[in-house]
């Protein structure tokens, strides 16, 4: 596994050696993160809201469809009789009556959104971590065989593939006919969405594990302990923001009123000016655990979960806490979904035993509306 800091380590310079040691220690502080050759930490799958239903994946492993209003199970999918499903880390995406997702068994699936029945599958044999991108009749996703794919959304037939130098764990973004995604090879790629031909790549000096944000002809993304703003057309760097060596950016940034928000594995939430990269708050907000979820924003409030088993609602004007829910009882490693005043929050369980839940919380105060226990496939017992 190649770390960005290794490339800048200079023999004989003690301060760089210390930085390297701090960086390595930071690796072990990240919950369940292992070497690049293994699976990512459990619980990455968020949820998709579509037509009154909530679709989400699990490392149990299953994909669920719930009634979003009540939490009642509509269906669950655990693979085919001859091919049981293996962990789902990405978020299932519902488009035009189908639910699309990739699994760690190396198969990409398309299910009927109403029944959960299999529509088609694409098997190239390599574990799939990211959430798929579905745009203009095409499904895009990366895999652990150092490839990025484009499939026909209706049939699953491969349109093209693109080779990277390392695994692709990050989700892809689409803008103006271009697909943007990062890889563990430290590069952010821009490809022609129709042909897969590379337009440019940018070496960020660290692994890219999350979806970039494309806004106003600028691509924003994190690469380990640095955050970048690039020109979307040329890849020229507009600015960068550096964090501490052991502080990783593991989540997609979000934007509101020309300000970018993102959390880190040290539990900090940053607010940066989108044009200059300068900090908007005097100090970042500090939560009690690692933040892997994106900051979900509505009406000036940012919602996110952390590994300390808490859900936070933050006033983005002044970085002051609005409320904090402490009753979910398990780490939150995925992004909450906000819909019609309800915050849907998946939690990551403990070795297939407890804490595999989906919560529906009132966005106004964090109170619980319902809870679905994935193990029992029923309402939570408490």
Q: DSSP per residue over 262-324, as a string?
A: EE-TTSEEEEEETTT--BSSSS-EE-SS---S--EEETTEEEEE-TTS-EEEEETTTTEEEEE
> Which domain does 4 fall in, by range?
1-30
Residues 26 and 42 in one domain: no
Residues 76 and 17 in one domain: no
Residues 89 and 121 in one domain: yes
The reply to whether 311 falls in a domain is no
- Could you tell me the CATH number of the domain that includes residue 45? 2.40.128.630
Give the list of residues 6+ apart from residue 360 with CB closer than 8 angstroms, or none: 68, 71, 342, 343, 344, 345, 368, 369, 370, 371
The reply to whether 189 falls in a domain is no
Cα→Cα distances 112→13, 116, 118, 134, 138, Å: 58, 5, 6, 15, 17
The reply to whether 14 falls in a domain is yes
Which domain-ending residue is among 102, 129, 156? Answer: 129
Angle at alpha carbon of residue 212, lines to 283 and 191, rounded to 5° = 155
Residues 24 and 45 in one domain: no
Residues 22 and 55 in one domain: no
Tokens of 70: 């009540």
The reply to whether 309 falls in a domain is no
Which residues of the chain fall short of a pLDDT of 50?
A: 1-37
Pick from 142, 60, 134: nearest CA to 93: 134
Structural domain count of the chain:
2
Give kind and range of the element (H or E) at residue 22: helix 14-29
Residues 72 and 51 in one domain: yes
Classified as helix, coil or strand, 218 is: strand
Predicted confidence at residue 354, as pLDDT, reads 72
Residues 44 and 125 in one domain: yes
- The fraction of the chain above a pLDDT of 90, given in percent, is 82
Predicted confidence at residue 250, as pLDDT, reads 92
The span from the CA of 183 to the CA of 149, in Å, is: 13
Residues 4 and 66 in one domain: no
The reply to whether 53 falls in a domain is yes
Pick from 306, 272, 300: nearest CA to 287: 306
Residues 99 and 78 in one domain: yes
Which domain-ending residue is among 107, 129, 151? Answer: 129
127: left (phi over 0), alpha (psi -120 to 50) or beta: beta
The reply to whether 250 falls in a domain is no
Pick from 160, 248, 147: nearest CA to 204: 248
Which domain-ending residue is among 73, 95, 129? Answer: 129
Tokens of 71: 């939490």
Residues 26 and 62 in one domain: no
Predicted confidence at residue 4, as pLDDT, reads 37
pTM of the model: 0.89
Residues 85 and 108 in one domain: yes
Cα→Cα distances 19→7, 63, 204, 246, Å: 12, 41, 18, 8
The span from the CA of 126 to the CA of 124, in Å, is: 6
Residues 56 and 122 in one domain: yes
Predicted confidence at residue 213, as pLDDT, reads 98
The reply to whether 119 falls in a domain is yes
112: left (phi over 0), alpha (psi -120 to 50) or beta: beta
Predicted confidence at residue 40, as pLDDT, reads 62
The reply to whether 228 falls in a domain is no
The span from the CA of 172 to the CA of 182, in Å, is: 8
Q: Are 325 and 287 in contact (CB under 8 A)?
A: no
């Amino acid at each position: 596994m190649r770390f960005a800091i290794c490339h800048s380590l200079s023999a004989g310079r003690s301060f760089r050696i210390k930085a390297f040691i701090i960086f390595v220690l930071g690796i072990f502080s990240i919950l369940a993160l292992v070497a690049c050759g293994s699976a990512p930490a459990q619980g990455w799958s968020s949820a998709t809201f579509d037509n009154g239903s909530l679709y989400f994946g699990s490392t149990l492993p299953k994909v669920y469809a719930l009634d979003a209003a009540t939490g009642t199970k509509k269906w669950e999918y655990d693979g085919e009789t001859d091919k049981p499903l293996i962990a789902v880390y990405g978020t299932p995406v519902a488009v035009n009556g189908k639910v699309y997702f990739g699994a760690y068994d190396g198969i990409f699936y398309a299910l009927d959104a109403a029944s959960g029945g299999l529509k088609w599958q694409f098997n190239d044999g390599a574990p799939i971590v990211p959430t798929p991108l579905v745009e203009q009749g095409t499904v895009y996703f990366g895999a652990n065989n150092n490839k990025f794919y484009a499939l026909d959304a209706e049939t699953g037939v491969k349109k093209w593939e693109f080779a990277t130098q390392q695994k692709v764990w990050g989700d892809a973004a689409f803008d103006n006919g271009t697909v943007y995604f990062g890889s563990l090879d430290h590069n952010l790629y821009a490809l022609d969405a129709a042909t897969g031909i590379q337009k440019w790549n940018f070496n960020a000096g660290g692994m890219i594990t999350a979806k970039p944000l494309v806004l106003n002809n600028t691509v924003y993304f994190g690469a380990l302990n640095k955050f970048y703003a690039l020109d979307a057309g040329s890849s020229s760097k507009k600015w960068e923001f550096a964090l501490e060596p052991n502080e990783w950016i593991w989540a997609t940034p979000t934007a509101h009123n020309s300000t970018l928000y993102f959390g880190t594995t040290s539990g900090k939430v940053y607010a940066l000016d989108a044009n200059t990269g300068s900090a908007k708050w005097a100090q970042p907000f500090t939560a009690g655990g690692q933040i892997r979820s994106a900051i979900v924003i509505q009406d000036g409030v940012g919602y996110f979960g952390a590994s300390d088993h808490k859900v936070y609602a933050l006033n983005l004007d002044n970085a002051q806490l609005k409320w904090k829910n402490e009753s979910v009882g398990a780490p939150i490693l995925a992004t909450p979904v906000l819909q019609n005043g309800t915050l849907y929050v998946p939690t990551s369980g403990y070795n297939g035993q407890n804490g595999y839940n989906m919560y529906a919380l009132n966005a106004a105060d964090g109170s619980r509306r319902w809870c679905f226990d994935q193990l029992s496939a029923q309402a939570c017992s408490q």
